């Protein structure tokens, strides 16, 4: 039986993995949240592995406050880069497989076709730069049997996310302006968690000689405007959605205008079928609405 450590246990992805864990009779999960393990403290990370052995680390933890990162660059870097470096060293030293979750924000967001894993990175804010630094540290240390999964527009029944924000605002307001000139594909954290479990059980992971990068989001494409419209339609909310441009909703950190990710590599290597974004949205809304 494989022993799995999950950091960021109370986040969206970590919470979805906790939902799936009891059904995995061949996997033994240990979940750690920020209270259990302070990822800004390298000593605490090292001490966590002093008397425990794991076969796989899944690093779901991250500093994800995109705008706040602009004023807290040191903390963002400590969690998104330095902690990843520490975990990567442990993974290599102890021969542990490492699955690290990264983001579309490592790209400039100005592409004309879905980003491939080999495309040049060029983050436009502190958050993206800190996540890229974590990727680079992991790739430099290069532990075997390890992967980076870049994802985008993550939502879930758990935590704070776009879907839950739209549901709250849609009940309180008669109309809402939502950005239409940023496009990508939403990612159901439940689908990503399911994919990660499939990856852990796939022999391909444990045959890797180093660290590989993969992309994962749901299939299809939409804007934030389209996403909001679908949320309201499926939830039967009468809030009117008006399309606005990015310039009409300024934020401290720049957002990628184009976040589509090419998923061909992860589908091929791990035999994964990825659901269409609207189907996964309906599933999540059914859970939220009970």
115 is annotated as an active-site residue: no
223 — phi, psi (to 5°)?
-95, 170
CA-based nearest residue to 196, from 148, 248, 135, 250: 148
Distance between CA atoms of residues 205 and 200, nearest Å: 7
Catalytic entry in 105, 127, 214, 225: 127
First to last CA, the chain: 34
Q: Which two tokens stand for residue 130?
A: 């800190």
SS3 breakdown of the chain: % helix, strand, coil, rounded to 5? 45, 20, 40
- Cα separation of 12 and 101, whole Å? 12
Return d(Cα 263, Cα 151) in angstroms, integer: 10
61 within 8 A of 76, measured Cβ to Cβ: no
> How many whole angstroms separate alpha carbon 150 and alpha carbon 108?
14
Catalytic residue annotation: 127
């Amino acid at each position: 039986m494989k022993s799995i450590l999950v950091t960021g246990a109370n986040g969206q992805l970590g919470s979805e993995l906790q939902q799936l864990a009891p059904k995995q009779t061949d996997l033994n999960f240990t979940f750690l949240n920020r209270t259990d393990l302070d990822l800004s403290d390298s000593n605490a990370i090292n001490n966590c592995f002093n008397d425990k052995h794991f076969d796989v680390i899944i690093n779901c933890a991250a500093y994800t406050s995109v705008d706040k990162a602009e004023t807290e660059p040191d903390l963002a870097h400590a969690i998104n880069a330095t902690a990843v470096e520490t975990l990567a060293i442990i993974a290599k030293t102890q021969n542990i497989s490492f699955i690290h979750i990264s983001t579309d924000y490592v790209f400039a967001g100005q592409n004309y076709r879905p980003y491939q894993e080999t495309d040049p990175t060029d983050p436009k804010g502190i958050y993206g730069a800190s996540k890229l630094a974590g990727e680079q540290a992991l790739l430099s240390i290069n532990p075997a049997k390890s992967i980076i999964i870049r994802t985008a527009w993550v939502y879930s029944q758990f935590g704070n996310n776009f879907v839950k924000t739209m549901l709250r605002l849609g009940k309180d307001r008669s109309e809402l302006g939502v950005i239409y000139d940023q496009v990508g594909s939403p990612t159901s954290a439940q689908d990503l968690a399911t994919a990660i479990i499939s990856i852990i059980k796939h022999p391909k992971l444990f045959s890797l000689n180093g660290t590989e990068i993969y992309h994962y989001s749901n299939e299809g494409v939409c804007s934030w405007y389209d996403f909001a419209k679908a949320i309201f339609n499926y939830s039967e909310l009468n809030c009117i959605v008006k399309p606005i441009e990015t310039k009409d909703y300024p934020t401290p950190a720049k957002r990628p205008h184009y976040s589509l990710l090419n998923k061909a590599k992860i589908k091929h290597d791990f035999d994964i079928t990825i659901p269409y974004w609207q189907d996964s949205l309906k599933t999540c809304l059914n859970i939220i609405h009970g």
